[in-house]
Chains A and B, each alone.
Chain A
Amino acid sequence: MVGVEEKILELFRKNTSAKLTTWQILTAIDEKAAQIEEILKSPLYGKTEKKLALREKAKLHRRVLYYLNKLIRSNLLATYGEVGKGEKIFGLNLTSGEEITIEGIRKIKITISRPPFPSLPVEGYEQRGVLRKYEEGTWINRVNSILVEGSNHPKLSTLYNYISNCILLVNDCLYIRDFERFLEKEKDEIFNFFREISNLINDFGKRIIFSIDFSKIQKKHEKKLENIVKYCNSLQQRPNFVFKVNPNEIYEKLEIFSKIIENFSSSGEPLTLQNSIFRAPYFRGICGVYGFDESEWGVYEEYSKKMSSIVCSNFTIALDMAKFASEFRLRVSSLEEVVKKCCEAMLIGSSIQREKIQEYFKFLLNTNKECLGFVFGFSRNYLRIWNYEWLRKRFDDEVMLSVLERIRKCLNNFCSIEETIYKACGMPIRFRVVLAQAIYEYYRKFFTEPEWERIELRHLGDLYESPSIKSKLVLAEKVGRMLNGGAILELYKLGKLNLDEACRELSYVLTTYRFPIIYLDFSGVLRRDLKLLEFLR
C-alpha cells in the first residue's frame, strides 16, 4: 500500500468537512477494496467467493487502520464516533480557517485548508438577491452589537480601553449605557475622550452610540452636555447619541432640549430619542435598530452592576420583500420556507460561535467572569425586512400586517422548537430571532427601490390635523407592534425650524404613540442660506 497516507489526506483535501468510515476511505483509495465491494454486493458470486472476499476485506481493513491510526497520532485526523459493528468514522482534525501543508513520500506538498464557515442554507436566496447576511466576511466571528455598561467603569480612560477592545468584536455598533454619569468629569477630559472615540470610528468603520438619560441630568451639567453635543457633531466621524426622554422631561428641561435640537438641526445631523416608557435600551445601528426584550431586561437589571458588557445581537439577515415576491410570487409556503432557512443559517452560525467562543470572544468572557451566562444570555438575532411597504402598495395595509405577523410567528415557532430540542438533549441554549426594519441608508445599495412614504412634518399641527400624517403614524405604530426586535419611527422635518414647536411635536409623538426609538431627520430643514430641498422617492 504505497503512499497510503498521502492518498487518505488527498481524499480529505477534496472534501475537508467529510466524515468517512474505514471502508468508505478504503474503497476510495484502493481499487482492490472497490472490487471486493463489488463481489460482496453482486448476486453473480457464490458463497465461497464471498467468504474469501470478506477475509480479504478484513485484511485490508486492518492494514488501512494502521495508517489511519498513524495520521491520528500525527493529529491530522480524528475519530468522530462509530457505526455498525464498531467501524470508526474519521475526519480531518482541522479547525475552521486552519491550513496545513504536508510533504508526502513523493515530496509533493498537500495543502489542506478548512474554510472559515460552512455553506449556509441561504446562499441560493442570496444569489437571487432576496436575502443578505449583514457583513458576510465577519458574519461568524463577530457579533452585531454589544452593550457596554458605562457606569461600571470608574474612569473615561478605562471606558475607552474597554471600548477599543469591544470594537474589534462587532460588525455593526457598540452601545455605551448611562454615559450621563461622566458629565461630572472635566470638559477637556470628555472632549479628549470623544476625539479618541472618533478616531476609533474612523479606523474601524463601526458606530459607537452613547446613551444619555435625561432624567439623570443635573442642571449644573446642562451647559456641558450642550457643548459636548456640539463638539461631537463637529467631528469628522461623529459619535452617536441616543437621548432617553419622556414627554414631561422635554418641558422640565426645555432649555437644554431645545439647544440639543438646535445643534443637531444646524449641523444637519439626525437626532435619536428613546422613549423612556421602554425600560430596555434601544439604539440605531448601521443596519437597523437593536434592543432587548422588555421582560428580560428587568431580570438583567438586577445583575447589571456585575457586568462590563453584554451582547445585544449575534446575527442579522435582511429579506427584500419585493424581490422575494417577484421570485416566488408571494406564496405563504415559500415565505415560511425562506424565513426558516434564515433561522437555520443563524442556528448553524450560533453553533459555530459556541464552539469558537474562547477564540472569538475571549475578551468578553474574561471581563464578565462573575456572570458568564449573561454575556450572551439576552442576545437576539435579527431578521430585517426591507420594502414591506411594497405589500401595502400592491395589496393593502391588512395584507402587509398579516404577512409581518406570519413571519414573526414563524420565527417564534422555530426558536421555541429549537430551544426545546436542545434542552431535551441536555444542552439548553438561548436562540431567538426577532423581526425589525432594514435601514434605508445601508440596504438601498443591495435591494429593490423602496416604496415607503416618509413622514414629513412642517408644523406641529401636521401631527393632529393632517389626515395623511395621522394615518401614517397609526399604521407605523401597528407595524411597530409586529416588529418585536424594536420599531423606529422616522420623522423628517421640513421648512423653517421653530425650536419650541419641535419640542412640542416630539412630546406629542412620545405621548400619543408607542415607539421605542424616534429618529428625527433635519436634512430638509430650511437653514439660513439653504433652499428647501425636494425629496423624491
Chain B
Amino acid sequence: MKYIIASDAAEAWKLALKLVLENGKDFVDYDGRICREVLNMGIEIRNPKDSIAKPIGILSNLGIGAYPLIDEVIETLFRKDNPGVYDYCYGPRIFNYHGVDQIHNYIIPLLKTNPNSRRAVISLWDPTEDSKVDRRNVVSWMVSDFKIRENKLNLTFYGRSIDLFIGWPVNVYQQYILMEKVAREVNVGIGSLTTMISSAHIFLEYGDKINRVLRMR
C-alpha cells in the first residue's frame, strides 16, 4: 500500500502523479492505451478547503481538451435522475438509490444523532446496473465513508479505478462538495479528505503534460 499525505489538493495531486510515474507498472488496457498503474494507493489531503479546485484549474489550461464545466460537474453530483445522457450519473446513486436518499435520509440524521458513528457510509456500486459483463461504463466511485472526529468531518472514499491525471481532480472536488454539504448540515468543521484507490493509474500519452504539472510550483 502506498500512502501519501499532503496539505492541499494540488500538493497531493503532484505527489500521487510522481509516485505512479516513478513506481508504476505498465500495461496495455482494453482500449489499447498504455497505462501505468500502482495498486492500492491512499491519498490524504489534510486541508481540502485550501485550493481544492486548483488541480482542475491547472488541467483546464493544459490544452488536453475541453474539461467539463464546473457547473455540470456539480449538477451531475446533486441531480436525482439520469435522463439518459450520461452512461451513469453519481447524483441518482447518492440521492435516489432505488428510492433511497443516502445523504438526507441516512448520513445526516445518523451523524446528528450519533456523531461518532462508524456506519455513515454511502454506496454507489449498483449490482443491478454495474455487475453486467457487457456494460460499457461503470462507476469508479464505490463508497464514501463519513466520520466526525474532534468536531470535524473526515471523508474517505474508495475508488476501484481512477485516472489520477484527468479524473482524480474532479473526483476529489466532487467528494469535497459533498463533504462540505454534510458538514454544514451537521454543523461541524471540515477535516481531512482521503482517497483510497485500488487501481491508481495514468496514461502515458499524457506523459509530457504530467511532467509539466510536476515542474509547476
Give chain A's interface residues, CB within 8 Å of chain B: 80-86, 344, 347-348, 351, 353-355, 357-358, 365, 371-377, 414, 417-418, 420-430
Contact = CB atoms under 8 A, between A and B. Distances in A.
Contact of B86 (A348, A417, A429): A429
23 contacts: A80-B70, A81-B53, A85-B50, A351-B68, A357-B85, A365-B83, A373-B84, A375-B84, A376-B84, A414-B65, A417-B65, A418-B66, A421-B65, A421-B68, A421-B166, A424-B166, A424-B170, A425-B170, A426-B141, A427-B86, A428-B88, A429-B86, A430-B87
Tell me whether chain B's interface is mostly helix, strand or loop, or mixed: loop
A313 B49 CA distance: 42
Contacts of B85: 353-354, 357, 376, 429-430
Contact-size category for B? 35 or more
A355 B50 CA distance: 29
B198 to A, nearest CB: 15
B110 interface: no
A428 B166 CA distance: 13
A426 B167 contact: yes
A428 B88 CA distance: 7
B72 A354 contact: yes
A415 B198 CA distance: 28
Interface string B151-190: 0000000000001001100110010010000000000000
Nearest to A365: B83
Given A355-B75, A375-B84, A425 B68 contact: yes
Between B51, B65, B167, the greatest number of chain A beta carbons within 10 A of the residue's beta carbon is seen for: B65
A425 B69 contact: no
Contacts of A428: 86-88, 136-137
B167 A424 contact: yes
Interface in B195-212: none
B23 interface: no
A414 B64 CA distance: 10
B114 interface: no
B73 interface: yes
A344 B66 CA distance: 7
A421 B64 contact: yes
A84 B51 contact: yes
A83 B139 CA distance: 28
Nearest to B174: A426
A381 B107 CA distance: 42
Contact of B69 (A83, A351, A357): A351
B13 interface: no
B89 interface: yes
B90 interface: yes
Nearest to A423: B137
Given A357-B83, A372-B82, A424-B163, 8 more contacts: A355-B72, A365-B83, A374-B84, A417-B65, A421-B68, A421-B166, A426-B139, A429-B85
Contacts of A86: 49
A83 B53 contact: yes
Given A84-B51, A347-B66, A418-B65, A425 B171 contact: yes
B40 interface: no
A519 B23 CA distance: 60
Contact of A422 (B53, B68, B83): B68
B166 A377 contact: no
Contacts of B22: none
Contacts of A351: 68-69, 72
Contact of A85 (B49, B83, B86, B141): B49
